[in-house]
Structure 1
Amino acid sequence: MTVTIKDVAKKAKVAPSTVSRVIADHPKITQETKEKVRKVMQELGYHPNLLARKLVTQSSQTIGVIRKMSSKYLLSDPFFPEALQGINDLLRAKKYSILTVNGEAEDEIYQEVVNMVQGKSVDGMILLYSQYQDPVFDFLVEQDFPFTMLGKPTEHSNKVMYVDNDNVKAACDMTEYLIQLGHTRIAYIGGDPKFEVHKDREQGYRQALIQANIQTEHIFRQEVSKENARNVVQQIMAQQPRPTAIVTTDELRAMSILSALYEQKLRVPDDIAVTAFTNSMLSELSSPPLTTMDIHPFQLGYETAKSLVDLLENPKMMKRNILVPATIVTRESCKKM
Structure 2
Amino acid sequence: MAVTIKDVAKKAQVAPSTVSRVIADHPKITQETKDKVRKVMEELGYHPNLLARNLVKKSSQTIGIVMKESSKHSVYDPFFPAALKGMSDLLHERNYSISLSTGETNEEIYGDVVKMVQGKNVDGIIMLYSRDDDPVLQHLLKQDFPFVMIGKPTTHINQIMYVDNDNVKAARNVTEYLLSIGHRRIAYVGGDPAFEVHKDRQQGYTEALTMAGIQEKTIFQAMITKESGEEVVEALLKMENRPTAIITTDELMSMSILSSLYAKGLRVPDDISLTSFMDSLISELSSPPLTTVDIQPFQLGYEAAKTLIDLLENPDMMKRNILVPTSIVERQSCKKITINKELL
TM tier, shorter chain? Answer: over 0.9
Does 2:308 match 1:273? no
Corresponding residue of 1:167: 167
Query: Are the aligned partners of 1:66 and 1:101 in contact in 2 as well (CA < 8 Å)?
Result: yes
1:167 and 1:29 map into 2 onto residues whose CA distance is: 45
Using the TM superposition, give the Cα deviation of residue 302 of structure 1 relative to its aligned residue in structure 2, in angstroms: 1.5
After alignment, is 49-58 or 37-46 more displaced?
37-46
Question: 283-292 or 315-324, which moves further after superposition?
Answer: 315-324
Aligned 8 A contact 2:69 2:106 in 1: no
Distance in 2, Cα, partners of 1:273 & 1:319: 42
Cα displacement string for residues 115-153 of structure 1 (whole angstroms, at most 9, x for unaligned residues): 211111111111111111111111111111111111111
- 1:270-316 CA distance string (max 9 Å, x none): 11100011110011111111000111111111111121122212222
Mapping of residues 131-280 of structure 1, within 5 Å: 131-280=131-280
What is the total number of aligned residue pairs between the two structures?
337
Residues 52 and 194 (structure 1 numbering): CA distance in 2 closer, same or farther, change over 3 Å? same
User: Given the superposition, is the C-alpha separation of residues 296 and 28 from structure 1 closer, same or farther in structure 2, using an over 3 Å criterion?
Assistant: farther
In structure 2, C-alpha distance between the alignment counterparts of 1:19 and 1:304, rounded to whole Å: 32
AA aligned to 2:170 is: A
What SS does the aligned partner of 2:101 have? strand
Contact 1:130 1:197 survives alignment (8 Å) = yes
Cα distance change of structure 1 residues 26 and 313 upon mapping to structure 2, 3 Å threshold: farther
Alignment of 1:1-337 (within 5 A): 2-8=2-8, 16-17=16-17, 19-25=19-25, 34-35=34-35, 37-337=37-337
- Worse overlay, 106-115 or 4-13: 4-13
Residue 166 of structure 1: how far off its partner (Å)? 1.0
> Closer, same or farther in 2 for the Cα pair 1:99/1:328, shift >3 Å?
same
Stretch of structure 1 that moved more, 4-13 or 184-193: 4-13
Q: 1:52 to 1:320 in 2, by over 3 A?
A: same
Q: Pick which of 177-186 and 109-118 moved more.
A: 109-118
Instruction: Name the SS of the counterpart of 1:76 in structure 2.
Output: coil
Residue 13 of structure 1, CA deviation: 7.0
**1:250: Cα distance to partner?**
1.3
**SS at structure 1 position matched to 2:301:** helix
Of the structure 1 ranges 307-316 and 193-202, higher mean CA displacement relative to structure 2 is found in 307-316
Q: TM-score, normalised by structure 2?
A: 0.91
Q: CA deviation at 1:5?
A: 3.3
Unaligned runs of 5+ in 1: none
Deviation for aligned residue 1:233: 0.9
Task: Give the counterpart letter for 2:51 in structure 1.
Answer: L
Task: Mark the runs of 5 or more structure 2 residues left unpaired by the alignment.
Answer: 338-344
Contact 2:161 2:320 in 1 (8 A): yes
Could you tell me whether the CA contact under 8 Å between 1:69 and 1:102 is conserved in 2?
Answer: no
CA distance in 2, matches of 1:245, 1:181: 11
- The farther-off stretch of 307-316 and 247-256 is 307-316
**Identity rate of aligned residues, in percent?**
67
Paired AA for residue 294 in structure 1: D
Decide whether aligned partners of structure 1 residues 170 and 30 sit closer, same or farther in structure 2, where only a CA change above 3 A counts.
farther
Distance 1:27 1:290, change over 3 A: farther
1:26 shift after superposition? 5.2
* 1:107 Cα deviation from its structure 2 partner: 2.2
2:62/2:96 contact within 8 Å kept: yes
Choose 298-307 or 3-12, whichever is displaced more: 3-12
Q: Give the CA RMSD over aligned residues.
A: 2.1
